[in-house]
Amino acid sequence: MPEPARCASPFTQQDTERALARSTAPPVVPEPCLLALEVTADGDRTRVTIRGDLDLDTGRRIEPGLHAALGHSTRGLDLHLHALHFCDCAGLTTLLRLRSRAQHLNKTVTIRTSNSAINQLLELTGTRALFVAPEKH
């Protein structure tokens, strides 16, 4: 015959402290943001240099700043990614969402400089052409 379930009660602060005192694992410390934006107005466009690692977590953290820079620009953003040490598919998705938003605002997002790792990511995913400056007529 099955045993009846015991009534569960939520952890209290004291329960948490006891569990931490018995634990041999180091405490979990939130990792600092490993990404920085440098935004500079440059005529009717805005120059944005992204430094560090661009992944799911850091992308979510900087997306509001990227959208604000886009909103303040007249024609769009010129991205400088030469100082980006790491960018995974989630980071690329952040850039693609930024591009999509720019299109809705009749603006563009271009990649002006990048490094070999970013170039490889853009080539492998077939997204390089999405960030090329439109030809002037």
> What are the domain boundaries of the chain?
35-131
Kindly report the average pLDDT of the chain as a whole number: 85
> Which pLDDT score, from 0 to 100, does residue 104 have?
98
CA-based nearest residue to 130, from 104, 100, 101: 100
Tell me which amino acid residue 63 is: E
The CATH classification number of 35-131 equals 3.30.750.24
Residue 31 region by backbone torsions, left for phi larger than 0, else alpha for psi between -120 and 50, else beta: beta
Model confidence band, residue 46 (pLDDT cutoffs 50, 70, 90): very high
> Which pLDDT score, from 0 to 100, does residue 96 have?
98
Please tell me which residue, 20 or 78, carries the higher pLDDT value: 78
Predicted structure pTM score: 0.74
Q: Are 83 and 116 a contacting pair, CB within 8 Å?
A: no
